[in-house]
Amino acid sequence: MSSDLTRLDAATLAEKIHSREVSAVEAAQAHLDRIAAVEGDVHAFLHVAGESALESAALVDASIAAGTAPASPLAGVPLALKDVFATIDMPTTCGSRILEGWRPPYDATLTSRLRAAGITILGKTNMDEFAMGSSTEYSAYGPTHNPWALDRIAGGSGGGSAAALAAFEAPLAIGTDTGGSIRQPAAVTGTVGVKPTYGGVSRYGLVACASSLDQGGPCARTVLDAALLHEVIAGHDPLDSTSIDAPVPAVVEAARLGATGDLSGLRVGVVRELGGEGYQPGVRASFDAALRRLEKLGAEVVEVSCPHFEYGLAAYYLILPSEVSSNLARFDAMRYGLRVEKGASAEEVMAATREAGFGPEVKRRIILGTYALSSGYYDAYYGQAQKVRTLISRDFAAAFAQVDVLVSPTAPTTAFPIGEKIDDPLAMYLNDLATIPTNLAGVAGMSVPSGLAEEDGLPVGLQIMAPALGEAVMYRVGAAFEAARNADESGPLIARIPELEVAAR
């Protein structure tokens, strides 16, 4: 019974909980059991909050038993929260030694919304330190392993959240996407990940990587589940100045509409610059098949050019480190977090603590950002990158004048072996090639499973991009594609994941 519950999608599980067929406590316990059984192999979590998860689930059960309507369509469903959101009752480390054991005295807005929706927070998931990385190997607490092949990366920075879904440790998860940290892990784990429009989900309590690029978003195993979670977490927050004060797009309705399988009249643009050379053959093949499937659904597929996308990576790796160098300055051993008592002065202790508390990738980016903002280099680097950002936004605007959504492979490759790129930062950065432009322009993007690559049998993701606040059409296309793929392949891609060895308990 227990193991069955972990295979359900969130929508189905919620129905069973709300109809009292199963209790929220049973659902939570089933997932906690699964975590206990597979975590040794997967390492998706940095902190598991069993007790508080069961308590919160019991409250949902009591409320339903009392005849109260569920607090949300997902009340009672367990969720894995990326360890970058502040939680008052759990540590928040961002995968860094410098915040080891830190318990925030406040909840992030997103955390509060999950609680208010009656969602059971199982714990906090592993991530690249401060969300910098594409493999979760830069976590100070060890890498997350891809449930499809344990010697492979689960993507990053949100590898923990994606792996938790693929390993059936949780039906829902939360990620953050600064340059692809939701979508690329989704792609390499055969799950669904959505980066909402910048400003769509509050960043209050999301520990910043790069403020102008960061965006929290839903992760799930189905498009509908992602949509249900999207509607829980999205919406205006007066505590975040960059939060958009507009109605949340009706993504659940759009996902349901899409699942009926008709995309006729819709124009889908293939971004010429996000494909071809540099993309693994199996990724290209899966993408081509996806285009065929979209056409079969009635969509008109056309090629569009976004000429400045090829500068996206360069602009991103100037803007991001610049903001990082400033955002991470607050970790100075004075008010919270690690303090290394080396040296007599505050200045020395700061430098010793930051040296000991940050990993190599964080240090590299801090140094790079400090450089890019330095007087004299500002115009050539940061300033120029901001102009490229404008040009990329204009490319999107021009493209969306012609088509409803844009598509590309989510990542150039499938999951690569752990350790392969860890000492080659530039090779690591190339993972984000296709996902970065949406972050630079603030538009929406998602990754849905498109199939397995022939050469390695590992999942490939299809990226769908939509204009700002255009999530509805994106979810519609994603759901239609998912339904068609599942129908053609007799079942969801995730069903083809190899069984993990279950540890004896």
Partner 1 sequence: MSTPTLIEFDDVVARFDPMLGLEVHVELSTNTKMFCGCPTEFGAEPNTQVCPTCLGMPGALPVVNRTAVESAIRIGLALNCSIAPWGRFARKNYFYPDMPKNFQTSQYDEPIAVDGWLDVELDDGTIVRVEIERAHMEEDTGKSLHVGGATGRIHGAEYSLLDYNRAGVPLIEIVTKMIPDTGARAPEVARAYVTQLRDLVKSLGVSDVRMDQGSMRCDVNLSLSPKGSGVLGTRSETKNVNSLRSVERAVRYEMSRHAGVLLDGGTVVQETRHFEEQSGSTRAGRIKETSEDYRYFPEPDLVPIAPTPEWVEELRGTLPELPWERRKRISAEWGLTAEELRDLVNAGALDLIEATVAAGAPAGEARSWWVAYLTQQANTAGVPLEELAITPAQVARVIELVTSGELNNKLARQVVDGVLAGEGSPDEVVESRGLKVVSDDGALIAAVDEALAAQPDVAEKIRGGKVAAAGAIVGAVMKATKGQADAKRVRELIIERCG
Partner 2 sequence: MSAEPGTPSAPGSSTVPDPSAVSDPSAGEAISRDEVAHLARLARLAVTDEELDVFAGQLDVILGSVARVGEVAAEDIPPTSHAVPLQNVFRQDVRRPGLSQEQALSGAPAAEEGRFRVPRILGEEA
Q: Looking only at residues 206 through 235 of this chain, which bind partner 1 when binding is defined by CB under 8 A?
A: 206-208, 210-212
- Catalytic residue status for 82: yes
Q: Using CB under 8 A as the criterion, what x/- string covers residues 293-322 for binding partner 1?
A: -----------------------------x
Closest contact distance (angstroms) between CB of 458 and partner 1 is 34
Joined tokens for residue 66: 């009392």
Question: What is the footprint of partner 2 within residues 420-449 (CB under 8 A)?
Answer: 425-426, 429, 439-443
Of 24, 99, 165, 274, which one interacts with partner 1 (CB under 8 A)? 99
Residue 137 engages partner 2 in binding (rule: CB under 8 A): no
Alpha-carbon dihedral of residues 212, 143, 46, 337, nearest 10 degrees?
-60
Q: Which stretch binds partner 2 (CB under 8 A): 20-28, 108-116, 150-158, 366-374?
A: 366-374
| Cβ nearer to partner 1, comparing 264 with 345 | 345
Judged by beta carbon distances under 5 to 8 A according to partner kind, the member of partner 2, partner 1, none in contact with residue 252 is none
Burial tier of 499 (Cβ tally within 10 Å: 0-12, 13-18, 19+): exposed
Spatial distance between the Cα atoms of 142 and 487, rounded to a whole number of angstroms:
38
Q: Which of 181, 202, 322, 408 is catalytic?
A: 181
Give the orientation angle of helix 251-259 with respect to helix 471-488, to 10 degrees.
Answer: 30
- Catalytic residue status for 363: no
- b/e for 96-127, b at 16 or more Cβ within 10 A? bbbbeebebeebbbbbbbbbebbbbbbbbbbb
Closest contact distance (angstroms) between CB of 372 and partner 2 is 8
Residue 209 engages partner 2 in binding (rule: CB under 8 A): no
Joined tokens for residue 154: 């689960």
Q: Which stretch binds partner 1 (CB under 8 A): 132-140, 223-231, 323-331, 449-457?
A: 323-331
Spatial distance between the Cα atoms of 98 and 280, rounded to a whole number of angstroms:
37
| Cβ nearer to partner 1, comparing 176 with 286 | 176
Spatial distance between the Cα atoms of 126 and 81, rounded to a whole number of angstroms:
9
Spatial distance between the Cα atoms of 474 and 445, rounded to a whole number of angstroms:
8
Q: What is the largest CA-CA distance in the chain?
A: 70
- Catalytic residue status for 23: no
| Cβ nearer to partner 2, comparing 260 with 390 | 390
Q: Which of 23, 157, 161, 286 is catalytic?
A: 157
User: How many residues make contact with partner 2 (CB under 8 A)?
Assistant: 82
Judged by beta carbon distances under 5 to 8 A according to partner kind, the member of partner 1, partner 2, none in contact with residue 298 is none
Sign of the CA dihedral running 90, 92, 96, 98: negative
Judged by beta carbon distances under 5 to 8 A according to partner kind, the member of partner 1, partner 2, none in contact with residue 204 is partner 1
Closest contact distance (angstroms) between CB of 328 and partner 2 is 9
Closest contact distance (angstroms) between CB of 342 and partner 1 is 15
Q: What is the CA radius of gyration of the chain?
A: 21
Give the orientation angle of helix 223-233 with respect to helix 471-488, to 10 degrees.
Answer: 160
Question: What is the footprint of partner 1 within residues 344-373 (CB under 8 A)?
Answer: 346-347, 350, 370, 373
| Cβ nearer to partner 2, comparing 380 with 495 | 380
Q: Where are the alpha helices (DSSP H) in 377-466?
A: 384-402, 425-429, 436-441
Sign of the CA dihedral running 351, 352, 358, 363: positive
Of 13, 25, 368, 480, which one interacts with partner 2 (CB under 8 A)? 368
SS3 403: coil
Tell me, what DSSP letter sits at residue 94? T
Three state DSSP letters for 17-59: HHCCCCCHHHHHHHHHHHHHHHHHHHCCEEEECHHHHHHHHHH
Question: What is the footprint of partner 2 within residues 307-326 (CB under 8 A)?
Answer: 308, 311, 313-315, 317-318, 325
Q: Which stretch binds partner 2 (CB under 8 A): 184-192, 226-234, 241-249, 274-282?
A: 241-249
SS3 186: helix
**How many CB atoms neighbour CB 438 within 10 A?**
29
Q: Which stretch binds partner 1 (CB under 8 A): 255-263, 355-363, 374-382, 467-475?
A: 374-382
Residue 453 engages partner 2 in binding (rule: CB under 8 A): no
Closest contact distance (angstroms) between CB of 112 and partner 1 is 12
348 Cβ contact list (under 8 Å, min separation 6): 342
Spatial distance between the Cα atoms of 23 and 274, rounded to a whole number of angstroms:
46
Residue 85 engages partner 1 in binding (rule: CB under 8 A): yes
Query: Which residues bind to partner 1, rule: CB under 8 A?
Result: 85-86, 92, 94, 99, 102, 104-106, 108, 203-208, 210-212, 238-242, 322-323, 325-326, 329-332, 334-336, 346-347, 350, 370, 373-375, 378, 382
Query: Which amino acids are annotated catalytic?
Result: 82, 157, 181
